[in-house]
Structure formats: structure tokens, C-alpha cells
Chains A and B, each alone.
Chain A
Amino acid sequence: MSKQSEAERKRLAMEKSLTQLGLLICEQIQNQEFPWIHMQSRSTDNIIYDPEERQYVLGPRMIRRHSRNIRHIRPFTQLIWTSWFAKELVKHRKTSTLREVYYSARGQRDIEYSSQQESDSIITDLEVALNRAREDFHIFPEERSAIFGDLTIEYTVPGYEGRRTNLTDHPDGIMIGPAVTSSEFVETSADKVLVIEKGAMFTRLVEEQAHKRFNAILIHTAGQSPRSTRSIINRLNKEYGLPVYIFTDGDPWGVHIAMVIISGSANAAHLRGLTTPDAKWIGVWGTDIIKYKLPTEPLTEFDKKRLQELKNDPRYKDDLWQRELDIYIKLEKKAELEAFSRYGLNYIVEKYLPDKLGGQ
């Protein structure tokens, strides 16, 4: 089976399962039954940390979305409409964004959402109901992160089928959009993945030729990484066995960006294939602040509260995490990625990263 037909097979399977959902509902109505669907509960008490999977998963509790229930009938209708909208996307090989879905519903009387949050939540329901990620039914988030490095991909999107590109072709990196997400990976000479939280540091690393120096694929998450980016990281780790290193700000928010890449988020507990449990967080650690004498800022009350929360989170139970969190708390300090600039623009490539990557 060629790679081309693999992507096509996925698309057709998606289309078919959406059609089946429609048939199920129609059948229920024909049987004079108020239509309903079964799905896993997404309520917080049904989101459980699974130590084996090393991520949050949905528990066994199922709920019925039932149109007989006056409180459910509107979201139920929205769910069916969204399914239809998704099917149109899949069928016509189009993609859309969360925001576009929200605005498309605006044109539909009685279906329109009161906020995008409501629309996003219905899309998540559909993911749970179909047991698929929204990217599978061609709905993408707005945030765009970027990728740069020696990786050749082959597009599957309409008009580009079979076309190949190398991700070093563009010096600003290539945006991780629907086309990259749905592409097949052809080959790479890289032997690791370096994930960076911030755009400025990503650009610096490209300029300093870090991809050559460390033989790495560079990925910029632009803050909390979008799912498509997490999915790419997961694939690089799984398909090519590349180790993944994550480099974030040295504060509770940066730490958590790394953790979501490693162990996933509660919001995506119903999805698999988004986590990379073996990825390593390499900094900026609390110990780095001391070791490299980095310029710091004091922790805010909000930072301190968040650090305590993280300390009690089951995903942070390992020694390294507990040790580093304790150091931030003890120092009452945090440091950004840019803090290394005090030693010159290339210090991070010349000194810090070799230290960190060499030590792994």
C-alpha cells in the first residue's frame, strides 16, 4: 500500500464514519425515537491520569447526548450540524479552522453559537463521539507554529498530491498548517528534534545554523503547542525514533508547555497520538539559573500559586520535575530564554546547548 493511498484511505474512512452517524440519527427518528448518541463523559471527574499511557485519558463513564432532554437538544442539533459541516470538508478535501466553523454557524438560524468557546466545545464533543481528532475531519486551530530542518515531506492536499519539499527550503521555517500536518514524511538526516517555545529563539537558532551543528529538526511552538504540532513531534519520535528535546522559559508556564508535549492535556484526554512521553525538557531549569548566573525576574504571586499546583500534579511526580520546581520556589526567581543573551548572541549555541544535549 503506497503512502498516497494511506492518506486517502484515512480520508474515506472519516467520510464513512460521518455518514454512518447521519444514518444512525435518521434511523432513530424513523423509529419514532428521540435521537441520541453515546459518548464518553468529558466531565472533570471522568478525566484520569493513566500512568501506563503516561497521559490523561477519559475514564469509563459514558453519557448519552439525548435530544429528548430539553437542555441537550440545542447542543445536539449543533453537533449534527457540525458533523455535516465536517463531512462537507472531508468530502471536498477542504480544511477549515475553529474560528471559521464558528462563523459558518452564524449563518444558520437556531444553530449559531453564542461564543466561539461553545463552538469549540461542540467540536471536541464530535472528536469524542467519533473517537477522532478534529484534524482528521479537517478542522484546524488558528495558532500556527513552524518547523525547520532537513526533513523531506510529500504533500497529500488537493493540487499538491505527490509534490515534495525539504523543510530547510525556507529560512523562516515552514508553517505547520493543514498541508504539513497531512503530509507524509519521506526522509530525514536529522538525529534529534529540538522544540523551542519562542519565535525569537527559533530564528536565532536558524541563523546560528543550529540544525546543522546539532543535526536537529527545529520546531517552534509559539507558546502552548497546537495539537497538529504535538502530532508532528509524536510522529518524528515514533516514525524515525528521533529523541525530542524541549527548550522553554524557566517559569511555571514554560515548564507546562514542555509537559503538555510530553504528557498531553486534560482537554485532549480523549485523543491518542498527541503525546511524546520520552521527550526531554532541557531547560531553562532552576538549576541553570544558578549555574549560568542568568539574569532573572522575581516570581509573581500567580507564578507561585501555579508552581504549587504543578508540584501536586501527577504528571510532575518524577524527581527531576520536583527538584526543578522546588528550586524556582526557593529562589523565587524565573528566567526567560532570552536571558542567555547577556553572554552574547551565540552563547546559547556555543555553550549552553552543547552542555545540555551532550549531557543527555
Chain B
Amino acid sequence: MSRGEGPVVDELEYQSISPSDFFYRNREIAGFSNPSRATYTAVRELLENSLDACETGRTPPDIFLRITEVEDHRDTETKIYKLRVEDNGIGVPPEHIPKAFGQVFYGTKYELKQARGTFGLGGTMAVLYGQITTNKPVKVVSSTGKVIHKFQLTIDIQNNRANILEHVVEENPSKWHGTAIELQMDGDYSRVMYRLIEYLKQTAMVVPYADITYVDPKGRLYKFERATEKMPPLPKSVLPHPHGVDVETFKRLLAADKSATMKQFMVSNFQGVGPKTAERFLEMAGVKPNSKPEKLKPEDIVRIVRTTKEFKDFKRPIASCLSPIGEELLKTGITKELGLTQDDYINVVTRKPCTYLGFPFIVEVAVATGPTIRKTLGPGITIYRFANRIPLLFDEGSGVIWKAVNKNINWKTYSVEPETPLLVAVHVCSTKIPYKSVGKEFMADQPEVEREITNAIREAARGVRAFIRRRTRLQRERRRLNTFAKYLPKIAEFSARLAELEEPPDVKPLLRMVSANLPEVEKKLEEVPVIVETE
């Protein structure tokens, strides 16, 4: 339309956009804000999908990751990289492959249980980002143990669906199962190298049963070896807790439900609601227990949802949908990745399940200190943050964990001085991690979560004071012994020369006298009582 033919307002057109289109336009909120961050996020999303696929099949993960430089645009700082991730997971059934990798918001993660991703968004976002920066299709090879399916796909952004460019089926004589995905993207590896390797290292800490191999663009090999075959129990799918439901979810549940009465609806769609609880709850919400669900008016629904927040008699949310790492595995993982020895202290605590806003969550904390921590992490407190077994590396200062460590704990109580090397690793697992953004890098300070994290750190740190005191005393004793061992022979040597004797006198009996006390000291130090910080 050219000027003058009509009023400008006619040109306004309202259109809905597809989810793919939305994320294409707003990719920074999903962690693809710039080439280096995008490189990091793409690796992270693909790797996490792989780990989930392995854990679902109860297979200790073997992950292979390779980033290759394909093209160097000499005029800009970015380069085209080929990203390849292979796993030995359960594989994706062929009919799901186009949707799983070519459609936003499609995936296996809509049930209510703990999983790494939340929206079925990450893997596809990586594909989408690769496509818009290089215009190359993604290659996916997968098998559930039968034949092997090879796909080449692109995403039809406007319509949120996959274009299949190629689909080949091959024999699978070795019964391989797993998925390999390869895509190209414009990225900046050099700026994110340090974080990426740190990310892999921290991942290896919380997934000590995984074997992760990484070949970087320079051909360097990084290997994070498995330390155990044990895996934490799988999370179970559960019904939602009434406390955590919102109006939209409630409506969807109603639409899908065929219950005859509201009472029956409540009992069969929510966890922890029996017939009696359902009756009392519906009474409080002002809804007749035997009224028909399809007769509910919109204002009834709003009232019911509001009442879920006020009603006190629901059971606590079930925690079987959570999968904490467990004290043993977390200890194994941190010990192997940091190379802790007998001389170091590590204590891991897995707390009992708690809830916030109707979502169950579990906090796990590892506290470590000692000479190895000093050597590898340096003096002062180092914080590792994990959410649903994902390391969080960005925006540490904004998160609730930073606040708990630096504001809520009085470290002096634990004999921790500013220069004491200390690792505080915090893992929060939940069906809904209270992230502050879609980029999933830091957690909001929900009061229940903050309190639980703080208490978990206190519990895990209990032995720190005794350890530090013990070590300080042992060091002092060792220094003492060394001092005698250094000077007594000199005294013997020079006094003999002074006396013009041939042989210096034997100082060994004297040295035995000093060292005899050391085991005694150690024994006494064992008896130092463990202190409990009082609030």
C-alpha cells in the first residue's frame, strides 16, 4: 500500500506467532544472547538431554562431546563450529525424532518429576540457533536398540514443525542404543573455554557415574572418568500437589477429566487428597462435593485455586518425584574431580524433602576444606551451585545460594577465616526450580528454599571447626618436630667440632622423645567435640 491511499491504521495487522518464532525473536532469554554464551548454552542443553536419556534407561552414561572449527570468518571474532554430542541413552523412537529436535515445546518433560530441562526447549533452541546462524540442517542418529535411524532436519520456524530433508534406516548388528546429534553454529569458543571446561568438571562432580570425553577445537582431549557405577534412584512421576496448581493448569485438568463429581475429580487428579480431605476442602472453597466438574463457572475455578493456598490440611508433597544425588555419590564425585585426599575434610548432607508453593524440593550440601582445596581452589570460600544436577556458572552473586553462604552464615563460628580454603557445594532438586530467568542460571530467594539451604550448610559445616582446629594443631606439632629434626643435628655437629670430637653425639633418642608425643596429640584431637551453631 502506498502513501495517501488510506489511513495508516489499516496497515496494522494482528498475528499470532509460533513458539519457534517467539524464541527466534527472543533467544537471549533462553541463554543464546551472544556467540560465546550461545556456544556454552548449546553444549549444555545437548549434554543435559544426553544425561537424561542415559539415566532414564538406568545406563551409566558414556558421553562424547566434540567441538570442531569449520570456518574462520577472518573479519569477525566468531567462527563456525560443528558440535557433536553422542550418548548411550535409551534413544529416541523414530516417530518422535522430527518433533523432538524440530519443534519447540515438545519433549518428554511435561510430567511432574525432576528433570534437567524444564520446557523441552533447550535442545531445539540449539538446533534453531545453529540453523539461523549457518543455515545448515541438524543431523540426528538414534536407535532404541533396534534399527538405526539417521535424520537431517531443519525447523520450519513460522509453523513450529520440522522439515525432514533426509531419513535413512540402517541395520544395527551391535544393538547400539543412544543418540548422536551434530549441528553447526556460529559461536565464539575462545571466550567461553574456561567456563565450558569448568561446567564439564562440575557436571562430573554431580554425575560421578558418567564417563565424559571432550575433544576441543584445538584437538585437546579432556576426560572425566566415571568413579562408580551406582546411580541415584529414578524420580517417579506423580500427580500435582493442589497447592502448586494455577488456574490454567486447573482448567486443563478439568478439560481432560471425566470424573462425575468434584470430589472424585480432586481425589483422582491431585496427590495426597483423599475423599475426606476433598470434602473439607471443597466446602471451604464453597463448592458442593458432588457438583459436576463441567458445571463449574470461571469464578468457581479462581476461588478453588485461591483456596488451595489457604487450606492447611493437604499432605506434604510427595518427594518420590525427586532424585537427589545422595550423600555417597556427591562425596564420590567431588572427591574424584578435586582429587581430595585423606588430609582433606569433606562432609555431605542430604536434607529431608521440603516444599515451597506446593513444589517439593530437596537440598544437598557438600562442605570441603583442606590442603587440596587450598591448592586447587585457593584461599577463601568457593561456591558450586547445582540445580537438578546442572552446574550453574553464571550470575553467582544474584542467586539465593550466594546469599545463604555470604550473608546467612557466620563462618567465624566454624573457625573459617577469610583466607581459609573452603568449598561449599549446594544442590537443589525440585520439580520446579525457582529460577529467576529462562536462562536458568540463578535461583530466586524463596524464603523456604533460602532457609533450607542455610540450614543444610550449617549442618554440613558442623565438622569444619573441629577439622580446622585439629589441622592447625597437627601442623604446629609437625612444624615443631621438623624444627627439632633440623636443628638438633646441627647442634650435635658444631658442638662436636667445638669439643674437637671425632663423632657428633647421637641425637636420635632426643628426636624420638619429641615425636613420641605426636600420636598422643592426634588422639587427643580426635576427641574435640563437634559444635553446633545456634541461631
Contacts and interface: CB of A to CB of B under 8 A. Distances in A.
B112 to A, nearest CB: 64
B491 A80 contact: yes
A14 to B, nearest CB: 13
A87 B500 CA distance: 10
Interface string B486-506: 111011101111111100111
A73 B484 contact: yes
Contacts of A67: 487-488, 491
Given A18-B498, A70-B480, A84-B498, A110 B487 contact: yes
B496 A26 contact: yes
A349 interface: no
A253 to B, nearest CB: 40
Interface in A254-273: none
Nearest to A85: B494
A73 B494 contact: no
A19 B500 CA distance: 7
Nearest to B513: A32
A76 B487 contact: yes
B510 interface: yes
A74 interface: yes
Given A26-B505, A77-B491, A84-B494, A70 B483 contact: yes
B507 interface: yes
Contacts of A290: none
A29 B491 contact: yes
A26 B501 CA distance: 9
Contact of B498 (A22, A30, A76, A111): A22
Contacts of A76: 487, 491
A240 interface: no
Interface in A26-44: 26, 29-30, 32, 34-35
A25 interface: yes
A35 B495 contact: yes
Interface residues of B, number: 24
A110 B507 contact: no
A34 B495 CA distance: 13
Contacts of A32: 509-510, 513
Contacts of B496: 22, 26
Nearest to B499: A22
Contacts of B507: 29
A357 interface: no
Interface in B141-176: none
B490 A81 contact: yes
Interface in A61-80: 67, 70, 73-74, 76-77, 80
Interface in B473-529: 480, 483-484, 486-488, 490-492, 494-501, 504-507, 509-510, 513
A29 B505 contact: yes
A21 interface: yes
A83 B487 CA distance: 16
Contact of B491 (A18, A19, A25, A70): A25
A12 interface: no
A157 to B, nearest CB: 24
A172 B507 CA distance: 55
B418 to A, nearest CB: 28
A110 B492 contact: no
B490 A29 contact: no
A48 interface: no
A23 interface: yes
A183 B488 CA distance: 40
Contacts of A83: 494, 498
A80 B498 contact: yes
A30 B505 contact: yes
Interface in A1-23: 18-19, 21-23
Contacts of A30: 505-506
A76 B483 CA distance: 12
Interface centre among B480, B483, B497, B504 (most CB of A within 10 A): B497
Interface in B442-495: 480, 483-484, 486-488, 490-492, 494-495
B516 to A, nearest CB: 13
B498 A29 contact: no
Interface centre among B484, B490, B507, B509 (most CB of A within 10 A): B490
Nearest to A23: B499
Contact of A21 (B480, B487, B488, B498): B498
A80 B510 contact: no
Contact of B487 (A19, A73, A84, A87): A73
Given A70-B480, A76-B487, A110-B487, A29 B492 contact: yes
A183 to B, nearest CB: 28
A87 to B, nearest CB: 6
A87 B494 CA distance: 11
A144 B488 CA distance: 38
A72 B500 CA distance: 25
Nearest to B481: A70
Contact of A77 (B490, B501, B506): B490
Contacts of A74: 483, 487
A314 B498 CA distance: 41
Interface in B21-57: none
Contacts of B486: 110
Interface centre among B495, B504, B507 (most CB of A within 10 A): B495
Contacts of B500: 19, 22
B492 A26 contact: yes
B39 to A, nearest CB: 53
29 contacts: A18-B498, A19-B500, A21-B495, A22-B494, A22-B497, A25-B491, A25-B495, A26-B496, A26-B504, A26-B505, A29-B506, A32-B509, A32-B510, A35-B491, A67-B487, A67-B491, A70-B483, A73-B487, A77-B487, A77-B490, A77-B491, A80-B491, A80-B494, A80-B495, A80-B498, A81-B490, A83-B494, A110-B486, A111-B490
**What 10 A-B pairs are tightest by C-beta distance, nearest first?**
A22-B498, A22-B499, A25-B495, A29-B505, A23-B499, A77-B487, A84-B494, A32-B509, A84-B498, A80-B494
Given A19-B499, A23-B499, 13 more contacts: A22-B496, A25-B495, A26-B492, A29-B488, A29-B492, A35-B495, A67-B488, A77-B490, A80-B495, A80-B498, A81-B490, A84-B495, A84-B498
